[in-house]
């Protein structure tokens, strides 16, 4: 292993010396191992702050997340150290004296509390099923949580007699709503032994036990997706749908539970998706988003924001003039706060609950995520970066942004040669304006023409932004430091550019997306920046589909990598777990309009294929099932096109473990090294 780790830095240091570039060229392992913050959560009084830190655990081959705490603006420290699977879901008790979180300790995830003043975490549940969502009651005396339904005796007996089988769209467990009491002064279950009553040598006393969850809603014909306590604790609003299957979100509605009586009353029930977003501070309104009656375009249209009186009355639409999706709502005494995207920016917005007008909260950073507010909304915490640094945790007064940085994650890359990012724009074939992020090496020379690598995001409603260390399974920083440019295209359909832009690839998937990539290449070539004889392209998911489309319909690239990409829309449609996605974008099923399925499928153009193509796919991918990979692989083989298919065992749609992510990165380094730079790169391993 030591030899393996040394190999890459030595190889890259030689390239670094040859190019005369400043800074360290990081190893692939170092990029994968970068620590990152998430889930900022400000205490009710605004004095203390929780957030998570995620990092690679190479020994366990997992990405671990633990909770960190900053007290009164002081340097943060690690609060939890869970041995198995990390800790998450941290939230403050209403009085700010306790921190509630979940961690897997044993067979199932359990709930724990810990004091922000220090001490050991205390387990407060012994659940036979893992907890889903959980939330303090407003007075802190109870915790509501969702639990999956138990396996029935009939299910156990069936499995025992007939083994394992499942009927499609019938194998699921609904989640229902429960509550447990919380008593800060209660003795811990482990503080006294529990003797058998037959043991006459011991003094008898009742055994201490964890509280049993009391059902608020169970045995219903719907599953609970999200819930929120009313400010006075007398009601719980909740989103629900018939079952937890991914396509059942179309039938989600919102209801109110009276906690004392157990009575459930429907509140919002539109023909399409309705999703709870929260309560008004006075408890008079519920905030929600809705697709209303739209079941044919809500994959790419904007969500709609409403408030509705809980005591009866018509809903009122808010933010009607805002041409993008809003998400992550918090309704405070100072208005409604939400996240949103603006081209390559990520912003926090304020919505006036009276007139629905939207204004941008003027954070000085260009990319602002994951905010949290104190109870009075006088103070805010958030994550942010400016595109040339890593995300950090900040606090600020809400009234006038004056950020105070609490972390220094960017210190991890201070000695690295990282990407220099620039947002560029050009006109596509049909005149649409397309933006992209152009990454240049730190020692960029405008007099040179560079090899070009295009990296295409997924989605299609994803978006690429400036960043110093773009990665996933692509060694982008290392390619830059080897002497290349990298273009990441925000093709039609990308988020941040409005609903009309997101709809531009409806019945035009692949075709219009390819226009956007190729026109970006032409734009750079026209500027004299690139060597058009040395170009490659790659992407994952929708980016993999676009890459597959380019490999069969174009000969512009010397090499292509298709990650979890669609090769045939018919094959995709009958295998995927999100059939409505295809029907919405192609506006038909394959039996209604086989022509549109053929026109937008890479496999249709397989006879034209000539580009060497690496195919990467997860073994158990349900989103883009692996038959797509085998179909493209066989088609390329039959045309004698150089191709390689790598299947990552045990994975679904994403490569979620560090070792396999490292392998996928190496596979891309090898492939493009061979076809762009003419190098034969051997995967470094030890042993004979």
Segment 291-339, tens digit of pLDDT = 999 999 999 999 999 999 999 899 999 999 999 999 999 999 999 999 9
| One-character DSSP codes across 72-116 | TTSPPEE----SEEEEEEEEE-TTSS-EEEEEE-SSSEEEEEE-T
Q: Helix 658-677 and helix 476-483: axis angle, to 10°?
A: 30
Number of domains in the chain: 1
Q: How confident is the model at residue 7 (pLDDT cuts 50, 70, 90)?
A: very low
Q: In CATH, what number is assigned to the domain containing residue 643?
A: 3.40.50.1820
Question: Strand, helix or coil at 585?
Answer: helix
Q: Is the pLDDT of residue 2 over 50?
A: no
Reported as a pLDDT band with limits 50, 70 and 90, residue 410 is very high
Which pLDDT value is given to residue 198? 58
Dist. CA 131–CA 91, nearest whole Å: 15
| Between 22 and 277, the higher pLDDT residue | 277
Does residue 578 lie in a domain region? yes
Q: What is the pLDDT of residues 182-229, one digit of tens each?
A: 998 888 887 777 765 555 565 666 778 889 999 999 999 999 999 999
Order across the sheet with 235-241: list the strands: 223-229, 235-241, 253-258, 264-268
Assess if residue 524 is contained within a domain. Answer: yes
> Does residue 473 form part of some domain?
yes
Copy the structure tokens of residue 455.
């990296």
Q: Do the beta carbons of residue 386 and residue 392 sit within 8 Å?
A: no
Q: What is the pLDDT of residue 15?
A: 40
Each residue of 371-402: pLDDT tens digit? 999 999 999 999 999 999 999 999 999 998 99
CA 671 to chain centre: 28
**How far, in Å, CA of 456 to CA of 2, rounded?**
34
Q: 308 has which bridge partners?
A: 286
Please determine, for residue 16, whether its predicted confidence score (pLDDT) is greater than 50: no
Work out the percent of the chain whose per-residue pLDDT is above 90. Answer: 86
Cα–Cα distance, 253 to 267 (Å, whole number)? 8
Instruction: Summarize the confidence of residues 405-432 as an average pLDDT.
Output: 97
Nearest CA to 662 among 646, 645, 675?
Answer: 646
- Whether residue 87 lies inside any domain: the answer is no
pLDDT value for 10? 34
Q: What number is the average pLDDT over the span 348-376?
A: 96
Residue 467: the pLDDT is 98
pLDDT at residue 9, as a whole number: 37
Query: Does residue 550 sit within a domain?
Result: yes
Peptide bond into 622 cis (omega under 30): no
pTM: predicted TM-score of the whole model, two decimal places: 0.93
Report whether 532 contacts 676 (CB < 8 A).
no
Q: What distance in Å separates the CA atoms of residue 219 and residue 176, rounded to the nearest whole number?
A: 8
Both tokens of 298, joined, read: 């809500």
Q: Which of 17-26, 43-52, 173-182, 516-525 has the lowest mean pLDDT?
A: 17-26
Average pLDDT, the chain: 93
What is the structure's pLDDT at 199? 58
Tell me which of 169 and 608 has the higher pLDDT.
Answer: 608
Q: How many residues does the structure list for the chain? A: 688
Rg (CA), the chain: 27
Residue 329 lies in a domain: no
Residue 344: pLDDT above 50? yes
pLDDT score for 17: 38
- Label residue 119 by pLDDT band (50, 70, 90): confident
- Residue 557's domain spans which residues? 424-677
pLDDT of residue 6: 31
Q: Which residues contact 384 (CB under 8 A, 6 or more apart)?
A: 363, 365, 367, 368, 369, 391, 392, 394, 403
Give the pLDDT score at 130.
77
Please report where in the chains the tokens 């595109």 appear, as a residue.
Answer: 387
Question: Rounded to an integer, what distance in angstroms lies between the CA atom of residue 645 and that of residue 666?
Answer: 14
Of the candidates 272, 217, 221, 213, the residue with the CA atom closest to the CA atom of residue 243? 221
Q: Per the domain annotation, does 378 fall within a domain? A: no
Question: Does some domain include residue 458?
Answer: yes
Per DSSP, 416 falls in state B
236-277: per-residue pLDDT in tens?
Answer: 999 999 999 999 999 999 999 999 999 999 999 999 999 999
CB 556 within 8 A of CB 271: no
Q: pLDDT at position 191, please?
A: 77
Using DSSP, state whether 550 is helix, strand or coil: helix
pLDDT: is 21 or 232 the higher one?
Answer: 232
Tell which phi-psi region holds residue 514, choosing left (phi > 0), alpha (psi between -120 and 50) or beta: alpha
Give 141-188 pLDDT, tens digit per residue: 999 999 999 888 988 899 999 998 888 888 899 999 999 999 988 888
Encode 625-659: b = buried (16+ Cβ within 10 Å), e = exposed: bbbbbbbbbebbeeeebebebbbbeebebbbebbe
Tokens of 7: 């190999």
pLDDT tens-digit profile of 458-515? 999 999 999 999 999 999 999 999 999 999 999 999 999 999 999 999 999 999 999 9
Identify the pLDDT of residue 376: 96
For strands 559-563 and 485-490, give the pairing.
unpaired
Residue range 533-567, pLDDT digits in tens: 999 999 999 999 999 999 999 999 999 999 999 99
Asked whether the predicted pLDDT for residue 435 surpasses 60, the reply is yes
Return left, alpha or beta for 593; rule: phi > 0 is left, psi -120 to 50 is alpha, else beta: beta
Q: Which of 536, 542, 539, 510 is nearest to 521 (CA)?
A: 536
**pLDDT recorded at residue 201:** 61
What pLDDT, on a 0 to 100 scale, did the predictor assign at position 383? 98
Residue 660's pLDDT is 98
Half-sphere exposure of 211 (CA within 13 A, CB side): 20
């Amino acid at each position: 292993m030591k030899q393996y780790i040394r190999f890459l830095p030595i190889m890259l240091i030689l390239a670094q010396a040859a190019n005369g570039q400043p800074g360290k060229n990081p190893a692939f392992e170092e990029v994968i191992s970068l620590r990152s913050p998430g889930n900022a959560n400000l205490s009710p009084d605004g004095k203390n702050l929780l957030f998570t830190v995620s990092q690679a655990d190479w020994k366990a081959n997992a990405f671990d997340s633990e909770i960190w705490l900053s007290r009164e603006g002081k340097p943060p420290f690690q609060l939890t150290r869970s041995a198995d699977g990390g800790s998450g879901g941290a939230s403050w008790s209403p009085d700010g004296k306790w921190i509630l979180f979940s961690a897997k300790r044993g067979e199932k995830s359990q709930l724990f509390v810990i004091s922000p003043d220090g001490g050991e975490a205390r387990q407060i549940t012994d659940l036979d099923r893992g907890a889903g969502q959980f939330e303090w009651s407003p007075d802190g005396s109870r915790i509501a949580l969702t639990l999956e339904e138990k396996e029935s005796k009939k299910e156990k007996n069936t499995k025992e007699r007939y083994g394992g089988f499942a009927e499609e769209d019938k194998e699921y467990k609904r989640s229902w709503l429960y509550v447990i009491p919380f008593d800060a002064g209660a003795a811990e279950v482990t503080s006294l032994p529990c003797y058998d009553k037959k043991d006459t040598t011991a003094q008898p006393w009742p055994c201490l036990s964890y509280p049993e969850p009391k059902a608020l809603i169970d045995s219903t014909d719907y599953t609970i997706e999200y819930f929120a306590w009313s400010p006075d604790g007398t009601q719980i609003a909740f989103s629900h749908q018939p079952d937890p299957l991914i396509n059942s979100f179309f039938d989600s509605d919102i209801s109110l539970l009276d906690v004392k009586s157990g009575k459930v009353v429907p509140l919002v029930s539109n023909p399409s998706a309705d999703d709870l977003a929260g309560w008004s501070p006075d408890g008079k309104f519920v905030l929600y988003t809705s697709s209303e009656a739209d079941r044919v375009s809500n994959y790419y249209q904007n969500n709609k924001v409403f408030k509705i009186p809980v005591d009866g009355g018509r809903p009122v639409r808010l933010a009607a003039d805002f041409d993008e999706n809003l998400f992550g709502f918090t309704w405070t005494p100072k208005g409604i706060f939400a996240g949103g995207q603006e081209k390559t920016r990520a912003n926090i917005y304020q919505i006036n609950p009276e007139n629905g007008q939207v204004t941008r909260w003027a954070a000085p950073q260009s990319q602002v995520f994951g905010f949290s507010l104190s109870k009075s909304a006088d103070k805010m915490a958030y994550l942010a970066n400016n595109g040339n640094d890593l995300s950090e945790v900040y606090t600020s007064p809400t009234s006038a942004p004056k950020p105070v940085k609490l972390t220094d994650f960017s210190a991890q890359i201070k000695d690295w040669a990282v990407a220099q990012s620039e947002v560029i724009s050009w006109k596509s074939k049909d005149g649409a304006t397309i933006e992209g992020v152009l990454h240049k090496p730190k020692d960029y020379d405008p007099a040179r023409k560079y090899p070009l690598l295009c990296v295409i995001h997924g989605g299609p409603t994803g978006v690429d932004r400036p960043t110093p260390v773009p990665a996933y399974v692509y060694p982008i920083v290392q390619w830059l430091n080897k002497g290349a440019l990298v273009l990441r295209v925000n093709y039609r359909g990308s988020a941040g550019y409005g609903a009309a832009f997101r709809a531009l690839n409806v019945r035009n998937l692949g075709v219009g997306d390819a226009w956007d990539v190729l026109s970006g290449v032409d734009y750079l070539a026209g500027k004299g920046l690139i060597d058009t004889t040395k170009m490659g392209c790659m992407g994952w998911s929708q980016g993999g589909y676009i890459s597959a489309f380019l490999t069969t319909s174009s000969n512009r690239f010397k090499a292509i990598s298709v990650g979890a990409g669609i090769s045939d829309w018919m094959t995709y449609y009958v295998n995927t777990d999100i059939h409505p996605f295809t029907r919405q974008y192609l506006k038909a099923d394959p039996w209604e309009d086989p022509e549109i399925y053929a026109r937008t499928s890479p496999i249709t153009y397989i006879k034209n294929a000539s580009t060497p193509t690496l195919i990467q796919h997860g073994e158990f991918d349900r989103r883009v099932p692996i038959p797509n990979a085998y179909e493209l692989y066989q088609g390329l083989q039959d045309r004698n096109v150089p191709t390689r298919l790598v299947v990552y065992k045990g994975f679904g749609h994403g490569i979620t473990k560090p070792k396999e992510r490292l392998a996928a990165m190496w596979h891309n380094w090898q492939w493009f090294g061979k076809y762009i730079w003419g190098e034969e790169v051997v995967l470094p391993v030890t042993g004979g």
